[in-house]
Amino acid sequence: MAVEVRTRYAPSPTGYMHIGNLRTALYEYLIAKSNNGKFILRIEDTDQERYVEGAVDLIYRTLKLVGLKHDEGPDIGGEYGPYVQSQRKDTYMPYAKKLVEQGDAYYCFCTKERLAKLREEQEAAGMTCRYDRHCLSLSKEEVERKLAAGEPFVIRQKMPQSGVTTFEDAVYGTITVDNSELEDQILIKSDGLPTYNFANVIDDHLMRITHVVRGSEYLSSTPKYNLLYKAFGWEIPTYVHLPLITKTDGAKISKRAGDASFEDLMEMGYLPEAIVNYVALLGWSPGTNQEIFSLQELEKVFNIDGISKSPAAFDFAKLNWFNGEYIRKLSLEEFNNLAKPYYEKAIANKNIDFMKISKLLQVRTEVLKTIPETVDFIDALPDYDKELYVHKKSKTNLENSLESLKAAVPVLEAIEDWNEQTIHDELLKLVEKMGIKNSQMLWPIRIAISGKLVTPGGAIEIADILGKEETIRRIKIGIEKLSA
């Protein structure tokens, strides 16, 4: 019988989810779902100093927004709970003590002061900073005496000093690390809680995790995990190490450098579906030219073989394109609902019909955060240079623009049923009567009522949105400007 594929997303509740975290969660989810397996959520909160209040809720909210539904986790339970490491704290010490009994780990009673001095000496000598195994030589009697006296301790893994450790990675192939490079890592901290590395191995084994997915920066740590698996006689999971995500200049993406988290991207007006689609392709290729994938489509086509070893560059221009594609797939009502908060930032006039703006903007918008600067002229006519009326392609200059605006005012004032169609019909009748090009009328009107070179719609659509009174008022301001 085939083994059920089980992956786990095990974030630390430190306050935000950066793009690398999101991609790891997504790939773990897709590996599980593409193999009819289970996707598990586990909260790794043993590092209490970095714990941020509300961070667990943020994790749940993010997973829900992007559609990554877990099969087991702290909120829904499961066969292998609890799924919060701090609630499993009594699980780890017996395993650490077993390693001590086997000779694969040892108690270390070194004080912080001794370790700091050791580091200083090693740095001064130009040596690699690592623990010097001072406590490995303690006799069993000495260890028992120190434990009985209540001396603080950690438990360290005893690494082999010679030879190599080799493992297979699903992305990077065969990796070999010299054992002499491995430091005797701490397994149990002085507060009795496990380190991230130790808890990971224990929990992954107990939760029957078959595929461990993480960033390529953990490649060098993997031999430490494998030595633990071997010491316990446990089966080693399949490792899937993911390539780095970098900026377009090659620098590593990090929150410390001010790079956007998932929450930041959402606040900037990116849709969760677009973010997921783009992030899926940061280091993975479907082997075809298809770029637009729903999560359900990704579940069917995703495979580990498509993951690249090369770093993936996070390109905002490309994300913008994806977002624009997803915006255009929305219904007009859906887009209007998403755009409304952005309209309200720029438009105080309660009489403006946002739906009319949405009809113009949906096909032109890539990122929702650009909406306020695109529509701010609707609320108030900006101060503009009359040179905007001069437009070579439209064959307009200051003189004929003034003529067109003067001729348009009485025609617009005479319109009783103010709407796009009547504005269009009456202005084009005027154009024909004057014997000019359409653009020689519409360009000056658009500049007069928007004060901008680039607008989401043309003169007729903007006039319809602004209303009769405001449109004529602005055209008269344009006439004054051109007459001055």
Q: Residue 463's domain is classified under what CATH number? A: 1.10.10.350
Residue type, 49: E
Which of 195, 182, 184 shows the shortest CA–CA distance to 135? 184
Domain assignment of residue 322, yes or no = no
Same domain, 93 and 238: yes
Q: Where are the beta strands (DSSP E) in 145-209?
A: 154-157, 164-169, 173-178, 186-188
Q: Residue 230 belongs to a domain with what CATH number?
A: 3.40.50.620
Domain-ending residue, one of 222, 242, 262:
242
Same domain, 307 and 294: yes
pLDDT at 258: 66
Say if 72 falls within a structural domain: yes
Residue 315 CA to residue 320 CA, distance in Å, equals: 9
303 in the same domain as 266: yes
- What are the beta bridge partners of residue 312? 245
Closest CA to 155 of 114, 206, 197: 197
Same structural domain for residues 230 and 353? no
Closest by CA position to 379, among listed 344, 347, 342: 347
Q: Cα separation of 199 and 89, whole Å?
A: 9
How many angstroms from the chain centroid is the CA of residue 194? 29
Nearest-angstrom CA–CA distance, 429 and 427: 5
pLDDT at 248 over 90: no
pLDDT in tens, 205-236: 999 999 999 999 999 889 999 999 999 999 99
Residues 124 and 233 reside in one and the same domain = yes
- 18/104 same-domain check: no
> Are 356 and 448 found together in one domain?
no
How is residue 193 annotated by DSSP?
P
Q: Which residue pairs, CB below 8 angstroms and at least 24 apart, start in 337-344?
A: 338/271, 338/368, 339/365, 339/368, 339/371, 342/269, 342/368, 342/369, 342/371, 342/372, 343/371, 343/372, 343/375
Residue 54 resides in a domain? yes
Same domain, 69 and 110: no
Pair (110, 196) in one structural domain: yes
Quick one: 117 and 237 in the same domain?
A: yes
The C-alpha atoms of residue 386 and residue 463 are separated, in whole angstroms, by 19
Single out the residue of 111, 110, 119 nearest to residue 137, CA to CA. Answer: 110
Domain's final residue, options 346, 361, 379? 379
Residue 318 in any domain: the answer is no
Domain that holds residue 405: 386-483
- Tell me, yes or no, whether 352 and 292 share the same domain: no
With cut-offs at 50, 70 and 90, classify the pLDDT of residue 273. very high
Query: Residue 47's pLDDT is what?
Result: 73
- CA 249, CA 201: separation in Å to the nearest integer? 35
Supply φ then ψ for residue 414, to 5 degrees: -80, -10
- Predicted confidence at residue 253, as pLDDT, reads 76
pLDDT at residue 405, as a whole number: 98
The predicted model gives 177-187 an average pLDDT of: 93
Domains of the chain: total: 4
| pLDDT of res. 255 | 65
pLDDT for residue 215: 93
Helices marked H in 310-363 — which ranges? 316-329, 332-346, 354-361
Question: pLDDT above 90 covers what percent of the chain?
Answer: 88
Known binding residues for ATP: 255
> What is the per-residue pLDDT across 291-316, written as a single tens digit (0 to 9) for each?
999 999 999 999 999 999 999 999 99
Instruction: Assess if residue 321 is contained within a domain.
Output: no
pLDDT in tens, 25-71: 999 999 999 999 999 999 998 777 777 788 899 999 999 999 999 99
Say if 171 falls within a structural domain: yes
Residue 1 lies in a domain: no
pLDDT in tens, 376-434: 999 999 999 999 999 999 999 999 999 999 999 999 999 999 999 999 999 999 999 99
324 inside domain: no
Do 91 and 79 share a structural domain?
A: no
Q: Which residues are catalytic?
A: 255
Compute the mean pLDDT over every residue in the chain, rounded to the nearest whole number: 95
